[in-house]
């Protein structure tokens, strides 16, 4: 079957750096997405990776290794507003999005 694994919950300190990992086993690969979802709000698009390597976008970066079936989302200079759930999703060979259960990130002062 197809599977996306990410930690259920992580805690980090304001101003620090946190890395949220995502591993996947899917039938084929056509890109990986990261979304941010604040409690009670819509998931919002953060990043997309289809080639190996690091994509940087301000304080957020996303890394992909297709050979390892692995991605991470790196958040720098953490702010309280970064407290949210982070969803990893992979597009398989049929272009279906396979979603992880999300990682709840708690930021402490």
- Chain positions contacting another protein, by CB under 8 A: 4, 8, 30-31, 33, 35, 40-45, 48, 50, 87, 89, 91, 94-102
- In this complex, which beta carbon is closest to another protein, that of residue 69 or of residue 102? 102
d(CA 3, CA 84): 22
Query: Among 76, 97, 101, 71, which residue's Cα sits nearest to residue 86?
Result: 101
**Nearest distance from residue 70's CB to another protein, in Å?**
18
- In this complex, which beta carbon is closest to another protein, that of residue 23 or of residue 76? 23
d(CA 79, CA 76): 9
- In this complex, which beta carbon is closest to another protein, that of residue 45 or of residue 67? 45
């Amino acid at each position: 079957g197809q599977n996306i694994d990410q930690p259920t919950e992580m805690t980090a300190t304001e101003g620090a750096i946190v890395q949220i990992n995502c591993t996947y086993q899917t039938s084929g690969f056509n890109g990986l997405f990261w979304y941010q979802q604040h409690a009670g709000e819509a998931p919002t698009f953060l990043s997309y990776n289809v080639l190996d390597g690091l994509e940087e976008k301000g304080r957020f970066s996303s890394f992909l290794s297709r050979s390892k079936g692995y991605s991470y989302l790196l958040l720098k200079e953490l702010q309280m507003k970064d407290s949210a759930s982070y969803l990893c999703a992979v597009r398989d060979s049929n272009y279906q999005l396979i979603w992880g259960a999300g990682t709840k990130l708690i930021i402490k002062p």
